Amino acid sequence: MTRAKTAVQETATGEVTELRLPALEIQQGPGRRLYTFGIDGKLIPEIATVSRVRRNSNTELHGYQRPENLAHIAAIRRYIDTDDSPMLPNAIVIAFDQRVRFERGDNGDASVGYAMQGHLVIPIAPTLDDVDKPGFIVDGQQRSAAIRDARRESFPICVSGFITDEPSDQRSQFILVNSTKALPKGLIHELLPGTVGTLPTPLMVRQLPATLLERLNFDIGSPLYRRIQTPTNPSGVIKDNSILRMLENSLSDGALYKFRGDNDLPNVGFMTTFVSHFWTAVAEVFSEAWNKKRPRDSRLLHGAGIVAMGFLMDEIARRLPENLPAPEDFAAELKTIKDDCAWTEGAWHFADDNVRKWNDIQNTAKDVKRLTDYLLSRYRARTQQASGRGRARRNRSRSA
């Protein structure tokens, strides 16, 4: 019989029982308490589960963890099963719900101002479904899975835990723990909109564009509805990082900057509508290129095209009098350069007789700038021509 099974039986008083573990409560700032304790790693699957990142039928985001890395788990398991006294010094981090409590001990001499000895009391039952377990693994899912699958009867480990019922708090800690590791950036970006608390500056900067991206991707009325590829929407045709770059550029000194609101509080709804109106016009004017299935078949869906069109969006917005141009307003401006674009066939005729085949444009800084400069120059030239024709017509009318 394994030590894990023995622990459950010894504490059993019914279907759901309480596991009492010696623990240290550490006060870490106002209202923040951490709990450090040791536990047989074989028991972790009985007190904690993994909250997989996913979206429900209403496109609401749940969870935060990526799928298990089977190769990584196998490598850790082989190490644990060696005879060379394996050691895993890094603590597994678990977020517990309010069913878990800390009971302080009677030995006051063993405590200091910021630390208190006692017991962490955790409900446990082998029959609990994953969603009913009191803990969620924030960091260490691969190590926990390796211990679970190892041949050893037991393998004690260190755990750092905290108690919260807020999924946003769990996500915040998950991002902070993993942002310095090889965590997919797309997963971090998708978690940012529902995250609260202090984050590193680079992630704080991306939180607003990530929020806009989420709205654009999952609002059913958006022209980008489910077209952006993210961890929870892998079938999207446009890379999430391309959309983020387009939004960041506009937020920094483009059309979206003026919608930040009073005291720099962003008007997310207004921003989302503004961008939706522009891309609705893009989908109408360049419908053939927009409806392709892959970026390789359309440079409009390519990173270079998305970013360059974002700069064009800002330029058009400067020339339109309305704060929130309608899709037809944007469409009228885009039609002036429709014949200058080679999104799916033909060639781009850049300045200095530089002719490039339509699909030679790559998602590099140099090509993005070249395409941006081309679109802006053609748009400015066409609008100047239109203004000249308008003045000529007005002059002829006055003469008549």
> What is the DSSP secondary-structure string of 120-156?
EEEEE-TT--GGGSSEEEEE-HHHHHHHHHSSSS--E
Q: Which residues contact 399 (CB under 8 A, 6 or more apart)?
A: none
Structure tokens at 129: 């479904």
For the chain, which residues make up each domain, given as ranges? 3-183, 186-392
How deeply is 308 buried, as exposed, middle or buried, from its count of CB atoms within 10 A (0-12, 13-18, 19+)? buried
The three-class DSSP label of residue 268 is helix
Q: Do residues 164 and 95 make contact, with C-beta atoms less than 8 angstroms apart?
A: yes
What pTM, to 2 d.p., does this model score? 0.67
Q: Any bridge partners for residue 23, and if so which?
A: 37, 118
**What does the pLDDT look like over 52-76, one tens digit per residue?**
666 777 777 666 556 667 888 888 9
- The reported pLDDT for the residue numbered 5 is 37
Q: Do residues 228 and 217 make contact, with C-beta atoms less than 8 angstroms apart?
A: yes
Structure tokens at 229: 């590829």
| Residue 102 backbone class (left: φ over 0; alpha: ψ -120 to 50; beta: rest) | beta
How deeply is 243 buried, as exposed, middle or buried, from its count of CB atoms within 10 A (0-12, 13-18, 19+)? buried
* Spans of the chain, pLDDT less than 70: 1-16, 52-54, 61-68, 107-112, 178-183, 197-198, 200, 261-265, 386-400
Q: Any bridge partners for residue 96, and if so which?
A: 135, 163
- The reported pLDDT for the residue numbered 111 is 57
Strands (E), the chain: 17-27, 33-40, 48-49, 54-55, 61-62, 92-96, 101-104, 115-124, 135-139, 156-163, 228-229, 238-239, 347-350, 354-357
Rounded to an integer, what distance in angstroms lies between the CA atom of residue 249 and that of residue 244? 9
CA angle, residues 14, 17, 21, in degrees to nearest 5? 150
Q: Do residues 41 and 49 make contact, with C-beta atoms less than 8 angstroms apart?
A: no
Q: Give the DSSP letter string of 50-62.
A: --B-EE-TT--EE
The four Cα atoms 180, 185, 190, 192 give a dihedral, to 10 degrees, of 30
Strand order in the sheet with 33-40: 48-49, 135-139, 92-96, 156-163, 33-40, 17-27, 115-124, 101-104
Please, what sign has the CA dihedral across residues 364, 370, 373, 375?
negative
- The reported pLDDT for the residue numbered 230 is 93
CB atoms under 10 Å from CB of 384, counted, come to: 10
CB atoms under 10 Å from CB of 48, counted, come to: 25
